[in-house]
Structure 1
Amino acid sequence: MLKTFTKSMLLLLMLCFTVLYAQAQSIIISGSVIDKLSRSPIPGVGITVKGKTVGTSTDQNGKYSFSTTEKAPFTLVISYLGYTSVEKQITGNTSGLDIELEQAAILGQEVVISASRTPERILESPVSVERMGQATIKEQAAPSFYDALNNMKGVEISTQSLTFKSINTRGFNSNGNTRFNQFVDGMDSQAPGLNFAVGNIVGINDLDVDNIELLPGASSALYGAGGINGTMLMTSKSPFDYQGPSFQFKSGINHVNDNNTDVQPYNQLDVRLAKAWNNRFAIKGTFSFLQAQDWQADNFTDFDRVARKVKPGDRNSDPNYDGINVYGDEVSQNMRNVAQSVLNAGTSGFVQAALGLLAPPSAAQIAAFKAGPGGPLLTNFLSTNATMRPFYAGIQNPALLPSQNVSRTGYNESALVDYKTQSIKASGSINYRLTKTIEAIAQIYWGSGTSVYTGSDRYSLRNFSIGQYKLELKGQDFFLRGYTTQERSGDSYIASILGSYINEKSKSSTDWFPQYVGNYIGAKSLGATDAAAHAAARAVADQGRYIPGTAAFETAKNQVLNTTISDTNFKTGAYGAKFDDKTNLYHYEGMYNFSNLFNNVVEFQLGASYRLYQLRSNGTIFNDKNSEIDINEYGSFAQLGKKFLDDKLKLTVSGRYDKSTNFDGRFTPRITGVLTVARDNNIRVSYQTGYRNPTTQNQYIDLSVGGGSQRLIGGIPKLLDQYSLYTNQAYTDVSYRAFLASAAAGTPNPALLQKYTFDSRGVRPESVQAFELGYKGLLGPKFLIDAYGYYNIYKDFITAVDVYQQNPNDGSFTKFGAPVNATGKVTSYGAALGIDYLLRDYNLSGNISYNNIGDIPADYINDFNTPKIRYNLGLGKKELFKNVGFNVNYRWQGKFFWNSSFASGEVPAFGTMDAQVNLKIPSVNSMIKIGGSNVLNKYNFTSYGNPAAGAIYYVAYTFNP
């Protein structure tokens, strides 16, 4: 025992002397690293001994300290992405070694996560990926980072209003884009009742954006349903790495030289606060408020909703005028049908009185009465009665009453929609680091506001709000998260229904149309021309019509706005255009990266997710007036990657399986390869598959639109059965138009009507196979090139069909719009090229994209909705002269045809320029920016039926950007 103790003491003493000797020989280095321009500390800077792995990194305050046994003298390398590296020679112990790093553009060295769900250099990404980092965001030539997305290669934006914009890539653009996924800190930011992201109404504050990564093309193998055309990941700043207060105030103007209104103010305030303690506990909060006057939709082109095309004419020349941004004029009836309805009612009343019946007579009783002795008496009544006589004369003489449709007089959108745009956003998080690599996060995003968006109608979103609430545990190799999205419609409503119901409150259509037809016949009988007769008829029928701005109009408007759609009752005079949507989404997912367990010989990941949609609209959107609707979705994925040929070739195989309540399970594979042909030069090839389930609305919508002239219904068998579309088959829109044409010619031919057969399975998920070949490389340190070509094959493409179902009782037709799958395949193809070049500290950038649609089935309504050619040109410099920088971006796109359920027409080609000049004030860590979007003020629109947008000019002051 004594010997053992003695040996242990001697060993301990030797160890102490060794440690003391080592400490005596160690060199200790400490100091801080700051940004040369802003003088602010830089966290996470790498500090290493040149040629060695010895080193450390700066903490959140930019400070560092470490020791090394390296013999002096040696060289210390200080490096950080986006800054020029600095080398310092060390001759011995050094304290207070403060380093200033200068920002520099380092092309192609950014690290991305989205392409493989694991960190990798953007040059080595296996699929196309676009990235926007903090340096770009701070000096963007756009009012917000979301607007600046338009400058990315192949990206296009559909602008429905000032704050509501939809992102898209590679064709099939739409106002509410359900083929593009958008994630904020891992949370799907779609509104669950809409199934698409509502722009950035709820999302990251401009001051809190760390980076944005965008994947054009299919991405279902890694991210699940949706994202069939692209996926965007937005990541906010960590409160550990970015602390302290920041704020930005932006003030400007828009509506310059706008025919609709005077110049209007544009103001926005952004605030961010973050604080960390002991690198273990941190909190942050953000707030944003925007207030402005929105763009006004003023397309008054006459539109044929049956043929889905514009037509010549206006309210004065076309009795059946239906202006695109005019609402209430969608309600239309055929004059001869109106006259016949009046005569039918008169006939029924006469026969009932003549026979002494307690109830209206049946069709058989009326036929028997006409064939019997009462026939002449009925004819005499119809031809001589003051009320019946004009209608009888019109039916007997087509010259007096043509088979002409007439529409009610509508209201311009500006009289119905709230253009006083405002947006309030708030977010916050509590972060706790259990270990150096494991972090627990509780996070919230909430947004509310007033805006306008376009779907099958123009929808005015008033006091609309979405909240997202998340709990997450993440580590270096895993994450577990659960979140919920709570959508609340507030006081939102449908503009076209509002216009129609204001008309109904002033005078019901059952009175208006007979007045119109009767007075038209009267005018024609007196020898008036057709145009004069229509003008006289409308003047009489419109008597008592509520005029915008009057007390009567405002009273009727408020009554309709405060009544929900589902509470509408024509018999009691209750008319409602308001939504009552409280739809929720719950999502749970987890992923583990096993690569480190395999010493990174292979990369292997597993993940799974579960999602629940709770559709709760009280019958104002969905078929849920009398029952609740839940949709469950399950999914799991795996990915395996391996490098070959001395790490010059990397192959990755991925696959995902998903199952939804109403649809069969689906497997989506992905195979990618990246070949390094030279240092920093890589060729990539990929085969990806994607799919999307029919949206919640594709499945369960049950909504009257177009001023009540059409009903949108879900495409699942339950909804089709509810409206007897399997048993009482409806007619195709093409054959219905042919039938109307025959009726207009005076010889209605029912044989022209062709029945439409809905698939017994209802609407099904659509899928895509995407093939891509790309190259990305550095041709020298200052020239980056990125190019790709793609070919997509879509199957079961979800489109829409309009059908007309005949009522067996009275022979009238009801128009239904329902989602269906196109037969056959839809193909699309395209290519893009992007270049970045550094010339004497000037950053020159440019990109061009080409997108086109290929084969399409005969029953597919072409909604590719994308210009063939788009290009962007950019020029900027961080310091034009001391503390002053600038950025200019020019964007152009060719003309194309836009097709949607709301409107169809040509979108003209246009070019627009954004620009900004900034002054940095290092002494107070601030920046002043003067800039504008569309600075040349050339009004343009990105989708047909949406408002034209002009310039926004602004001045912004930012503290601690």
Structure 2
Amino acid sequence: MKKSNKRLSLFVGFWLMTTTWCLAQTRITGTVTEETSQNPLVGVSITVKGTVAGTITDNKGQFSLTTTVPTPLTVVVSSVGFQTREIPVENPSGLTIELREQVMLGQEVVVSASRVEENVMKSPVTVEKMDIRSIQSAPAATFYDALLNLKGVDMSTQSLTFRSVNVRGFSANGNTRVVQLVDGMDNQAPGLNFSVGNIAGISELDVESVELLPGAASALYGPNAINGLLLMTSKNPFQYQGLSAYAKTGIMSASNRSTATTPFYDAGIRYAKAFNNRLAFKASASYLSATDWQATDYRDQGFANGFTMANGTRPANPGYDGINIYGDASANLSAFQSTVAQFLPVPPAQIALISPPLAEIIGGINQLSAATNIPATQIINDVLLPNVTVSRTGYAENELVDYKVSSLKLNGALHYRINDNLEAILQANWGTGTTAYTGQDRYYIKGFSIGQYKAELRGSNFFVRAYTTQERSGDSYAIGILGQGINEAWKPSLDQSNLTGSWFPQYAFTYAGGALQTFGTAFTQAAASNPATAYQTALGAVNAMAGNLHTAARAAADQGRFLPGTPQFDQALATVTGRPLPGTLPNLGAKFLDRTNLYHGEFMYNFSKLIDPATVELIVGGNVRQYALNSGGTIFALDENNKEFKINEFGGYAQAAKTLADILKLTGSVRYDKNNNFKGQFSPRLSAVLTLAKVHNIRASFQRGFRIPTTQAQYINLNTPSARLIGGLPLFRERFNFSGSPVYTLESVRAFGAALQGGTALPQAAQALQQYQPQQWNPERVETYEVGYKGLINNKLFIDAYYYYNRFLNFEGAQVVVQGAQPATPANPASLLQLISGTTRNIYSFYVNAPVQVKNHGWAVSADYLLPGNFIVGGNVSYNDLANRGSLPSEFVTFFNSPKYRYNLSFSNRNIRGSGFGFNVIFRHQDAFLWESSFANTEATLRKQTTIPAFSTLDAQVSKRIPGIKSILKVGGTNVLGKLYTQAWGNPSVGGMYYVSLTFDELMNR
């Protein structure tokens, strides 16, 4: 009986909730027109303030809305490009509403700064916003690319379909310090912990607004929003109904590409419909296809032999390491000294069974030693196998990658208004595509997909949402490992059981044989005239012939090498890309197997309906999150049960705000977050906004942000051509026996090798080695101090300026260490020689905290001025600097990759004298700067060689509105002058892009 009563109560409660809207109804009707022309406005949003109830105007500018809110009430009337109005309503029938066009910025509403709607002028922190108008008028090829026009924004172009947004200096190709949200969903790829541009985001037709918060936002948005937050909001199907579509095509041109000029195609469609203002849905799709920009930087960053980027080439430098050349693994010839020396007592006939070239060398050494009284080991060490690094012949990136790129995005949502105060949303965003990005290696992301699926209940003062992000790597692979894998598939680099069939021994023995012959001939000739100097004379003859000896050695070792375009090469490529990472020598695999998922639940409640906002504005919220790592053991480490790890997090926050005398707003917030691998973190924020004369807004804030190490920083276990990437957690130090087999800093190993090469004896050279001592690893934290000003003067001049200062605690950077294949200890000096050869050592790269605080600061200013005729001239300039770079350890990689100065200048008009014609021209410039990353040679970084050159670009577009077909025709181009530039080390060169597009939208007046 009690169960029946409970069921009845639940049924009645649900029925009352879903039917309240039909009781005490108020019907609001009216017409919305443009103030000057009195033309009706289509698609204007009409909402009842404090509820989710709303509708839009029809083709005649008319609307009808039913609500349960009794009069008097307030309706909010808004449309992009017009000033928003709040209208008190007592008589709800036959309203006549006029909207005034808003040409200048300054009246927009933003939500990202405080999680509640507020005027952008009074935001407590810096906020940049793009709305539909600015997106439509941008000369960029996509709305995402247009972010580069905002002040203080850097972007790293790794592919036409993948750009990373970076702010305030600390940037990377995959930026884990900026959080990107799409309709409240974290848009990161869970296995990477950064967003892959907009390749799995929103279709341009479905974007309502984009807000960017440079700087820490952890106090409200949790971990990882330490340097910035990018919030993209899609169009609500209740407010944006009807059909819209676009088609865009053009050409891409860059002189460094295999085919300099190629076409691209981009198209999209969106449809939304509402039924009785209760049920609405939307669906959109977009597709892009093109031939990508190409990475063709073949400069030499192999510096072990004393070459630089200015003079290092494959013919000149035996240890050549091309930036966009892959598979050029290296080893030191001196590593084979002991291999040769151990055969000295063995009869040549027996050696011939193993390696005929080695037998000839041993015989020649013994004969020469007996004839000259020079110790055989001295001949081996000084003459035949000197301290010279050699590398295998690699493959260019365009030989390993099909540069055809694509992007397909499918988006859909179902909205149901349960009543005037509650809306239910089911949403799915799914994207797939092909692109490239640069990390420790270059990666070809082929056919990967990301799906995001959300269920949400939203009221006017709260939301509860749950979503999951599902990442699938498709046929993606690591390009560097592929190059090495093809070489290994043809011929192993080193196989102790088959020296004759191994590349490095073949090279070493061929070089040694030629050096032996050259030395012997020269020594005999020199000894006849001056025996005292014969040795040095002969050694000089070998050095003079070294170039020819290396050329001959490479030709011998490369004989039969798989060449691009041959069946053997194609078969090896298919085999290596079809084999999971990382494989084992010689059977390397380059394919990713990543099916990592993210699960997230979140809520937020605004007490505005329980507490008068005039007294205090109070919000609270919280979330739980889980990363379920799933790479089949190819990327992430396995636990003791041979399973991949799960990472659990939770957090909560509260914010209170108080406005005093209508001129000073004080806001305070605090958040607590906990990850199962680290201690909990508190993130407070305090801010004040002072408004003077209603148009001058001065703001100041202090906030603390933090970043939980990424899934890869915690658990990666991946062997790449340059190093084995391992997580920073203590379990890896135990797994790779750091305590039993010492590891040394890479910088000290280089100093050790340089000392040996300079002739220092082994015991003395070993004093340069520095053993790495593991330290505790903690989440990175930042304390940010910021002051700023926003002002709209005479409705003509809009100014926004800020200065910030960051103090990083536990700053996270990369540490590289070297470990001998066998324990290398000072107690056994000969064992230390393992450390200088790629064939006898292990290199590990992992994340650590900087031993000192990292500090940076910067500022930015933007100004837009409204000229007669609604012409707008504007510009912005930003400055970022790493304040204490000189106090950091020389080998510590900060990833501070930003020009000190960058600026934009613009001139535009959206509608010249009402003709429907518009234009926008933007000139951009940025200074040269040093690039630090795990892909760049860190020794080059120390030598200040990994510099990204300064560049300038010009973007422009001309548009024409065609009301008869409710369309906009746009012709434009980016980098129209066509001068190639790169934005990050190892990334492709970007050329000119020229396009024409036609966009149809039933809501044309927007």
- Same fold, judged at TM 0.5 (above): yes
Q: Cα distance 1:29–1:270, how it changes in 2: closer, same or farther (>3 A)?
A: closer
Contact 1:383–1:393 (8 Å) recurs in 2: no
What is the aligned counterpart of 1:579 among 567, 589, 592? 592
Displacement of 1:125: 0.5
What is the aligned counterpart of 1:701 among 716, 737, 740? 716
- 1:744 aligns with 757
Q: Cα distance 1:729–1:522, how it changes in 2: closer, same or farther (>3 A)?
A: closer
Paired with 1:304 and 1:587, the residues of 2 have a C-alpha distance of 45
Q: Cα distance 1:433–1:60, how it changes in 2: closer, same or farther (>3 A)?
A: farther
Displacement of 1:515: 1.2
- 2:236 aligns with 238
Q: Cα distance 1:609–1:311, how it changes in 2: closer, same or farther (>3 A)?
A: farther
Contact 1:33–1:58 (8 Å) recurs in 2: no
- 1:523 aligns with 514
Contact 1:193–1:696 (8 Å) recurs in 2: yes
Q: How does 1:275-674 map to 2 (within 5 A)?
A: 275-304=273-302, 310=309, 312-329=311-328, 331-344=329-342, 346=343, 383=366, 395-396=379-380, 398-510=382-494, 511-527=502-518, 529-566=545-582, 568-570=583-585, 573-600=586-613, 601-624=615-638, 626-644=642-660, 646-674=661-689
Paired with 1:46 and 1:613, the residues of 2 have a C-alpha distance of 38
- 1:178 aligns with 176
Is the aligned partner of 1:793 residue 2:807?
A: yes
- Write out per-residue CA displacement over residues 685-725 of structure 1, whole angstroms, 9 at most, x where no aligned residue: 0001100011111111111112xx42111110001111112
Paired with 1:915 and 1:108, the residues of 2 have a C-alpha distance of 24
Paired with 2:479 and 2:375, the residues of 1 have a C-alpha distance of 34
Q: Cα distance 1:144–1:392, how it changes in 2: closer, same or farther (>3 A)?
A: farther
User: Normalising by the residue count of structure 1, what TM-score does the alignment of the two structures yield?
Assistant: 0.87
Q: Percent of counterpart pairs with the same letter?
A: 45
Q: Cα distance 1:102–1:308, how it changes in 2: closer, same or farther (>3 A)?
A: farther
Displacement of 1:679: 1.0
- 2:769 aligns with 754
Q: Cα distance 1:783–1:138, how it changes in 2: closer, same or farther (>3 A)?
A: same
Q: Secondary structure at the match of 2:692?
A: strand
- 2:827 aligns with none
Contact 2:749–2:818 (8 Å) recurs in 1: yes
Paired with 1:171 and 1:284, the residues of 2 have a C-alpha distance of 38
RMSD: 3.2
Paired with 1:523 and 1:498, the residues of 2 have a C-alpha distance of 32
Q: Cα distance 1:416–1:87, how it changes in 2: closer, same or farther (>3 A)?
A: closer
Paired with 1:448 and 1:477, the residues of 2 have a C-alpha distance of 35
Paired with 1:476 and 1:161, the residues of 2 have a C-alpha distance of 40
Is the aligned partner of 1:908 residue 2:949?
A: yes
What is the aligned counterpart of 1:943 among 969, 981, 984? 984
What is the aligned counterpart of 1:836 among 855, 861, 864? 864
- 1:867 aligns with 899
Is the aligned partner of 1:885 residue 2:883?
A: no
Q: Cα distance 1:188–1:79, how it changes in 2: closer, same or farther (>3 A)?
A: closer
Q: Cα distance 1:317–1:27, how it changes in 2: closer, same or farther (>3 A)?
A: closer
Q: Secondary structure at the match of 1:890?
A: strand
Paired with 1:741 and 1:78, the residues of 2 have a C-alpha distance of 72
Shifted more, 278-287 versus 733-742: the winner is: 733-742
Paired with 1:628 and 1:85, the residues of 2 have a C-alpha distance of 52
What is the aligned counterpart of 1:768 among 771, 782, 798? 782
Q: Secondary structure at the match of 2:911?
A: strand
Contact 1:340–1:395 (8 Å) recurs in 2: no
Unaligned runs of 5+ in 1: 1-25, 68-75, 355-359, 361-377
Contact 2:302–2:319 (8 Å) recurs in 1: no
Q: How does 1:198-213 map to 2 (within 5 A)?
A: 198-213=196-211
Q: Cα distance 1:209–1:259, how it changes in 2: closer, same or farther (>3 A)?
A: closer
Structure 1 counterpart of 2:981, one-letter code: N
Q: Cα distance 1:113–1:397, how it changes in 2: closer, same or farther (>3 A)?
A: closer
Displacement of 1:640: 0.7
Shifted more, 249-258 versus 896-905: the winner is: 249-258
- 1:819 aligns with 847
Paired with 1:309 and 1:770, the residues of 2 have a C-alpha distance of 39
Q: Secondary structure at the match of 2:898?
A: coil
Displacement of 1:923: 1.1
Q: Cα distance 1:530–1:240, how it changes in 2: closer, same or farther (>3 A)?
A: same
Paired with 1:619 and 1:117, the residues of 2 have a C-alpha distance of 39
Paired with 1:29 and 1:274, the residues of 2 have a C-alpha distance of 22
Structure 1 counterpart of 2:436, one-letter code: V
Contact 1:38–1:925 (8 Å) recurs in 2: no
Displacement of 1:59: 3.1
Paired with 2:321 and 2:790, the residues of 1 have a C-alpha distance of 50
Contact 1:782–1:837 (8 Å) recurs in 2: yes
Contact 1:327–1:411 (8 Å) recurs in 2: yes
Shifted more, 680-689 versus 308-317: the winner is: 308-317
Contact 2:629–2:646 (8 Å) recurs in 1: yes
What is the aligned counterpart of 2:697 among 679, 682, 688? 682
Structure 2 counterpart of 1:328, one-letter code: G
Q: Cα distance 1:807–1:728, how it changes in 2: closer, same or farther (>3 A)?
A: same
- 2:70 aligns with none
Q: Cα distance 1:399–1:754, how it changes in 2: closer, same or farther (>3 A)?
A: closer
Structure 2 counterpart of 1:717, one-letter code: P
Structure 1 counterpart of 2:579, one-letter code: T
Q: Secondary structure at the match of 2:246?
A: strand
- 1:71 aligns with none
User: Normalising by the residue count of structure 2, what TM-score does the alignment of the two structures yield?
Assistant: 0.83
Displacement of 1:752: 2.4
Displacement of 1:42: 2.6
Paired with 1:621 and 1:41, the residues of 2 have a C-alpha distance of 52
Paired with 1:103 and 1:674, the residues of 2 have a C-alpha distance of 28
Displacement of 1:396: 3.4
Paired with 1:264 and 1:855, the residues of 2 have a C-alpha distance of 45
What is the aligned counterpart of 2:888 among 844, 847, 858? 858
Paired with 2:932 and 2:441, the residues of 1 have a C-alpha distance of 13
Aligned residues: 884
Displacement of 1:438: 1.2
Q: Secondary structure at the match of 1:866?
A: coil
